[in-house]
Structure 1
């Protein structure tokens, strides 16, 4: 009952938040296609090994940024939510790819979305909320943190199982995709295949997006492509597998460009191609929980903790949780210098610096950590508590993200091209918070109370 009341109140608050925006003049004949190529770091654009002719052609006929700053932690769900809200994770509420629940002392994973609807975790209006409230048509294809979003007219969620895919996908869309021969029944099989299934998933998701464009002509469509990120995790950035995936994702972008032309919407459509974060290659894993165990702050049987006073939860960055409230300050004073001195630690972010990084403090949100660590290039944080090694070696190069956005390797990509966008503009650095208000401007609506700005210098 309490949960139902909270959800109803949340939904009412969201409606009130977007209702005043009806006064804007929505561009009902304009269309924006937002494509996120997960893990496409900024440094690939000028890399001749990265074959992405479609994305480069869009940039040549439009604009690009040399760098787009990501949000802390530089992982998928927080940054995709920032891309569509224009605010940092501390405000929009999706502060990681999962959370560590202090009460239960258990990790709650958001991937692949087994628990929460969008309105339960996203605290502010998204650009698709605002567009929909203004009478525009919206669509999302596996966009993170959008499960059961009432303001998406056509959607399939970012989930793993066929059960959830069918439960939360738009019924009419799923029936249309079946009739069109799109293999939506493969969703769970390809998800369970892990990295090897991601190119097949991207192909399927691209087919669904093409169908939506040609059949329904939404004003805003969002598509999330996942194979570049998967290949980089498996083999590191700038690997042969990563370059292959970049070319494959470029082909999927080309598919949507072709679909827009086939639908007769070329002169009324803007493409926005982004990524959520950059990538680092690592061969060493930092194990803070082993150090905390050696300090007597964790007890464990093998790799299973039995008692925790402090815990490190990896989000790429290490989120440090102090679980003894009575002794919190003294524990932070004890552990902070020792954690900072660990091999591979590059940056220690204390609560006094959270605002600079757009993060929320634990007194305002119990899910927030007490301390955040970011690793150097070549290192990654592990949750492992077994054994006595503070640094573990990987079997070969691996890839990761989640590090501090102060690390330039975490900078993402941005390209905009088409209707309403100037040609030949190259920006130096923008923020991912600028994407949503700029898309809103293209659609003739307004995002209010955002951290970013409309990129007026790229608009006609």
Structure 2
């Protein structure tokens, strides 16, 4: 291959006639004339047009050089077998090196000269034609160099702007990605697949907890020999001797406390009935069209906490679960049905456990809930109707225990005893009423000054006018000493601190709180004097809602499962039910919402229930009947507009009274009572058979 003549390329834009030291790579036809630049100047073209032209010439010359030096597909083989291949290769490398060196020197020269050409370029861009002749008289080499510098610098500024734009776009996309990842990892409902799974041999279970509330189940009911299932559950689990409810010890406030961890003053359900001065409406728990509106429920329940963290829940008849709180409902929700058979509750819970879980491959199939809450109202209902010590209530306690036995058997048959957590609680206890333990409200105050009365059996008074408040205070002060054995009088601000019953406008400003076993009634509902004269019996026969620390108001807490790896029969210190929410959240592996509870898993035990130093939890007797109060003559009520009324200081719960030997409720079951219970059981059995036949007929 002939060697190509080595042609320096110090300036590709300047013609050879202008600079004898520079050679051009243009073709001979192009080197014959350099008149193109002069032609541009004669036609008075702008510097930008000249720069564009020179740039085009440069591109053409570079393309020519590429064509001259391009090799074919067999060039490598020819170089290997050619005798002169080495010299050819060395010559090309030398020419390439010289061209690169010349270009570097030209770039340096252009940068030096560009520093002083600012004013000239500005005048050229502004169109000052007066300086055109001075430019023409300058060196052609300098002119070409400046034109090339201007054309060379302009694209560089564009490229940096593009680079900054691309970089900014990348940063924005990265921030969007990080924000999405953060949201997905916090409160958004993403399944928690990282939680530990347990197997029963056929299916995988994420942390699962069943919470069952036995309404009105007093702590000492487990000592009556009626609950072998619960006694066995205590022996194999962990529990205190009793759990304290929250004040007031009534159903709706305490069930909402169990699933929020908040005192009633904090979550807003301050009673079964109350007046909201802001809404100007009354909450009444037996009117679901009103009470199940979300505006009453001001806290986050456990099913909402779980659902927001990707944990499915199922709630069976729990008070407040139908209120659509916070716009979040349980995955499975069963409406309240007070007449539902106990056996159906067992079937419902086991059916939920039989649903496909995390091991299921289909996303369409229903998924097993990890949190199941079930409400059992039977003991409370019979406790109100017949009294806590009646034969009817005893039999109901036994039937509820049988229901738990069926549930535990079903769980054991599914090999879930050590896989699923089970927590049994109650909301409060129950005390027996008597006509002799009634106080007529009209004997305490002028009821015409009261606009509304909240709560039951404790009575919250809302005066008609602001000035009536002090009058009512004075009236209560004048009679307080005569009724100190029956009632306690408080203002909202003077409530005992342990009640946690002050900081909410839904709490009435003035309260008459009966002692345990007593009740305060209005004459329009029940005339105490006439009832005593005629031997009438006051109903309901059982009441709760008293001082939450009184022994008759004590509730239960019993737990067993993988989240409670304690020695069987372990004993805990007694605690209040605001701690249940945290315990359930920890058992599910979810983050609890801020609350009033302080206990967390693992629970700290203090020994065993079988230890010798464990105190005995005996059955608590009912309060004694006072014959003096029933016949007390009402005193004259003051009408002073002002009063020096001071709220009583905080008092501890009264000591356990001596048993009343005349109390009918303390007697054992009679033969006719047992016969009646058998008839009731037969009736329930026949009803089940009838319903089954009816369902089969309807289905066909």
**Which range, TM-score by smaller chain?**
0.7 to 0.9
CA distance in 1, matches of 2:585, 2:281: 38
Whether 1:55 aligns to 2:230 is yes
By how many angstroms is 1:297 displaced?
Answer: 3.5
Bigger RCO (CA 8 Å, 6+ sep): 1
Q: Which residue of 2 aligns with 1:46?
A: 223
Q: Which residue of 2 aligns with 1:12?
A: none
Where do 5+ consecutive residues of structure 1 fail to align? 1-14, 159-186, 192-196, 299-307
Task: Report the secondary structure of 1:378's partner residue.
Answer: coil
Q: Which residue of 1 aligns with 2:464?
A: 323
By how many angstroms is 1:68 displaced?
Answer: 0.8
CA distance in 1, matches of 2:277, 2:446: 19
- Of residues 205, 219, 227, the one that matches 2:345 is 205
By how many angstroms is 1:296 displaced?
Answer: 3.8
CA distance in 2, matches of 1:222, 1:273: 10
Q: 8 Å contact 1:214–1:260 — kept in the other structure?
A: no
By how many angstroms is 1:105 displaced?
Answer: 9.2
Distance 1:130 1:104, change over 3 A: closer
Moved more, 280-289 or 255-264: 255-264
Distance 1:319 1:268, change over 3 A: same
Distance 1:312 1:56, change over 3 A: same
Whether 1:376 aligns to 2:515 is yes
Whether 1:233 aligns to 2:381 is no
Q: Taking structure 1 as the reference length, what is the TM-score of the superposition? A: 0.75
Whether 1:435 aligns to 2:586 is no
Higher strand share: 1
Distance 1:114 1:69, change over 3 A: same
The residue correspondences of 1:13-24 to structure 2 (distance < 5 A) are 19=187
Q: 8 Å contact 1:213–1:263 — kept in the other structure?
A: no
Where do 5+ consecutive residues of structure 2 fail to align? 1-182, 198-205, 356-366, 606-700
Moved more, 350-359 or 264-273: 350-359
By how many angstroms is 1:226 displaced?
Answer: 0.8
Whether 1:124 aligns to 2:272 is no
Distance 1:445 1:432, change over 3 A: same
Q: Taking structure 2 as the reference length, what is the TM-score of the superposition? A: 0.51
CA distance in 1, matches of 2:582, 2:427: 17
Task: Report the secondary structure of 1:372's partner residue.
Answer: strand
Task: Report the secondary structure of 1:115's partner residue.
Answer: helix
By how many angstroms is 1:94 displaced?
Answer: 1.0
Q: Which residue of 1 aligns with 2:551?
A: 408
Q: 8 Å contact 2:305–2:593 — kept in the other structure?
A: no
Q: 8 Å contact 2:273–2:454 — kept in the other structure?
A: no
Q: 8 Å contact 1:92–1:124 — kept in the other structure?
A: yes
By how many angstroms is 1:56 displaced?
Answer: 1.6
By how many angstroms is 1:154 displaced?
Answer: 0.3
Q: 8 Å contact 1:33–1:221 — kept in the other structure?
A: yes
Structure whose CA Rg is larger: 2
Tell me the alpha carbon deviations over residues 175-212 of structure 1, each in whole angstroms, 9 at most, x when there is no partner: xxxxxxxxxxxx5xxx4xxxxx4xx4433334323322
Whether 1:114 aligns to 2:289 is yes
CA distance in 1, matches of 2:289, 2:516: 32
Q: 8 Å contact 1:73–1:315 — kept in the other structure?
A: no
Q: 8 Å contact 2:450–2:464 — kept in the other structure?
A: yes
CA distance in 1, matches of 2:248, 2:386: 21
